Each structure stands twice: as structure tokens, then as C-alpha cells.
Structure 1
Amino acid sequence: MGLPVMLIAAVLACAPVAIDGDTLRCGRERIRLIGIDAPELPGHCRRGRKCVPGDAQASKRSLQAALRGRATIRRFGFDRYGRTLASVAIGGNDLSCHQLRAGAAAYVARWDTGGTVRRECGR
């Protein structure tokens, strides 16, 4: 059968905004893209954690530039911060794949729920 009515309404009403290079906000919902890790914004890389190198602002701009059109969201659950773990595509363009192609994020196999990003992006 199709998507539940509430989910369809949320997708149609949502205009996603990039929070950083791997996280979106859709209304009140925070969405963490699966399978990737982007550079952290200043002050967000906790001591003792190995963070992805790179320009966090450029990564965020790359993700924001891809947010043109209706988002299709496949939800897989929640992370420890309460964010929705999801695969998000706009116009058939998977956003995790977009970030990987742009060099704005790194692939992380252990965060790739069901190998979704590996399949979608050819990793």
C-alpha cells in the first residue's frame, strides 16, 4: 500500500533546511542522514572523538544547495540524540550520495542502515 497519510502530509509540507553537512530539519523533526559523517561545526567535535576533517561550513552549504524540491524520506529509527535516522532523496538524488560525490562527507559503513547508502551510491 502507499505511505501513511500523516507521512505523506509531512513530506509535502516539509521544506528541509541543512543544520550541518549531515543533518536536516524538517519542521520540528531533526533528520540525520544515514551512512555518512560530515565535518563538525566549530566547537562540536568533542574531546577524544576523531572527527571528519574538512570545512564544516562548505559541507553545510553543499547539503543546502541540494535541497531544491520535494523530499522523500525513508525513516529507519532514531539515534541517541533523538534525531530521525533516514535516507532522504530530492528529485531522485539521494542526499548522502550527493554529499559523498561533493567530497563534503565521508562514508561510514557502521552508520549505513541495511547497506542503503552502499547500494544507492555504489560504495
Structure 2
Amino acid sequence: MAMPLALAILLACTATDGDTLNCGGERVRLLGIDAPDLHGCRQGRQCVVGDGEAARQAIARLIGGAALRIGRVGHDSYGRTLAVVYADGANASCAMIAAGHAVYRRDWDNGGRVALDCPETAL
């Protein structure tokens, strides 16, 4: 019985920004999307234009109270886990694109996993 409880604690996630979650200390970067930066765009970077706080709140609402499934596919240059995240069975990356809080990045979609899940977003 302890295993399901430990799993539930591990998958309790919070939104740190519009495309990154903190899941029990593990930083999880949603695969295939880019959301506006929470603290603005750092010099020398090309960033998505938009409201970073609104994007963070949108992903927080999406994952809040949802059953999460995290399909890990690797790590990025910042050491974050790259993953396809499903909230109550729905691909969180697709939901963020559909809501206008993120843009699809084919070059960040390892294996085209996000594109397969969200054809309705007209990637």
C-alpha cells in the first residue's frame, strides 16, 4: 500500500512557468512547446511573446488536481527532464498550444510525440 502513496507524492507537481513543472524536486520541461518567459526574455535569446504569468497560471490550472502521467524522454541542457505530460489523459503541451499560451516547436519535439497527440492544433 505504501507504493501508491509514494507514487502520488512523487507526481504532485507545481507550475514554475508556462512550460516547466516541479514534481517532487524534479524539474520537468514539457516537450515540444515554448511558453512566454515568466521574468521576461534574457538578452541574446529569441522568446515567445506573451504573458509569462498567465501561461504559468494556465498550466497550474491544467495540472491542479489532475492525475498526471509523465513520459520521460531525456534531459535538456539545463538538466531538466524532457517529458510528455498528460493531465487526466490529455497532453498538457497540446492544451497549452490550443489555449494560446504556448507555441509548438518542432525542433523541441523529440520524435514528434507532441505532433502526434495534437493534430487539432494545426501545428
Match of 1:65 in 2: 61
For the residue of structure 1 that corresponds to 2:17, the secondary structure is coil
1:83 aligns with 2:80: yes
For the residue of structure 2 that corresponds to 1:80, the secondary structure is coil
Q: TM-score, normalised by structure 2?
A: 0.88
Contact 1:33–1:88 under 8 Å retained in 2: yes
Q: C-alpha distance in 2, partners of 1:11/1:75?
A: 15
Contact 1:11–1:72 under 8 Å retained in 2: no
Match of 1:47 in 2: 43
Q: What is the RMSD computed on CA atoms of the aligned residues?
A: 1.6
User: Aligned partner of 2:60: which letter?
Assistant: Q
By how many angstroms is 1:12 displaced?
2.6
Structure 2: runs of 5+ lacking an equivalent: none
Structure 1: runs of 5+ lacking an equivalent: 1-5
User: Aligned partner of 1:63: which letter?
Assistant: I
Contact 2:17–2:38 under 8 Å retained in 1: yes
4+ long deviations beyond 6 Å: none
By how many angstroms is 1:9 displaced?
7.0
Match of 2:35 in 1: 38
Q: Percent identity?
A: 47
1:118 aligns with 2:115: yes
Q: C-alpha distance in 2, partners of 1:11/1:38?
A: 28
Q: TM-score, normalised by structure 1?
A: 0.88
